[in-house]
Amino acid sequence: MRETIGFCFMFFGVVFDAIGCIGLIRLPDLYNRLQASLKCVAMGTSLTLLGTIIIVGLSPVGAKALLCLLFILIISPTTEHALARASYFAGVRMWEKSIVDKLKQDIEEPKS
Amino acid sequence: MINILIIALVCCAFLCLFRIARGPTASDRAVAIDILGIMIVAFGAFMSVKTGKEFYLTTALVWALLNFIGVLALSKFLEGKGFDD
């Protein structure tokens, strides 16, 4: 029973990984690809590690999986934020049909 | 069951490799490398469940940390600043 629930979590994790990778291939510019690729992390790998924890239970393997889950959930948004900001200032252009650019507004009119 | 999931994950990793080979700018390649590292973490979890060995998950943990440091250094390099500010 416990293994069945764990395999269900792992299956949905792989499904979200596949959706994120298709988004990484299909979407038009860098910022949209960042937005799609975080689905790989936040749902895909997290659900996989959660399924691992459910299958193996309380053991050293489960403790390492829990630690890995916490690390990934803290680390990955930090990385993507730094990468998006760096590539904006490095001059990577947005898609031509993008309609809002809040960072440019903030640079032109700094908040008092 | 778990073999099918591992094969599906490897197919997704090949999609990431396509983006690494194709990507127009360096930032696209950096994003794809980040996601490839995250998928390797998931692969370590799968192998740990399949074989019952513990060291696959240890490798995945170390890989996640090194991936973080590597992509952060790469983003500082792309921005054109030094590593200490």
The H or E element containing residue B35 is: helix B26-51
Mean pLDDT in chain B? 87
Say whether B78 and A86 touch across the interface (CB within 8 A): yes
Q: Is residue B84 part of a domain?
A: no
Interface residue A8 vs chain B (CB under 8 A): no
Interface of A with B in 36-95 (CB under 8 A): 37, 40-41, 44-45, 48-49, 51-52, 55-56, 60-61, 64-65, 67-68, 71-72, 75-76, 78-80, 82-83, 85-87, 89-90, 92
Q: Is residue B11 part of a domain?
A: yes
Give tens-digit pLDDT for A35-73.
Answer: 888 888 888 899 999 999 999 888 888 898 899 999 999
Q: A82 by DSSP, 3-state: which?
A: helix
Query: Is B7's pLDDT higher than 90?
Result: yes
Sign of CA dihedral A91, A92, A98, A101: negative
Query: Is B84's pLDDT higher than 70?
Result: no
Q: Is residue B83 part of a domain?
A: no
Looking at the 3D structure of chain B, how many domains does it have?
1
Question: How far is it, in rounded angstroms, from Cα B37 to Cα A51?
Answer: 19
- Please report the pLDDT score of residue A91 as a whole number: 80
- Please report the pLDDT score of residue A47 as a whole number: 92
Q: Is residue B85 part of a domain?
A: no
**Residue B85 burial (C-beta neighbours within 10 Å; 0-12, 13-18, 19+):** exposed
- Please report the pLDDT score of residue A89 as a whole number: 86
Question: How far is it, in rounded angstroms, from Cα B57 to Cα B63?
Answer: 10
Over pLDDT 70: what percentage of chain B? Answer: 94
A90-99 average pLDDT score = 82
- Please report the pLDDT score of residue B25 as a whole number: 84
Q: Which domain holds residue B34?
A: 2-78
Sign of CA dihedral A31, A33, A36, A39: negative
Q: Is residue B25 part of a domain?
A: yes
A88 confidence band (pLDDT: 50, 70, 90): confident
A76: chain B residues, CB-CB within 8 Å:
34, 38, 68
Helix residue ranges per DSSP H, chain A: 2-26, 30-39, 46-56, 60-89, 102-108
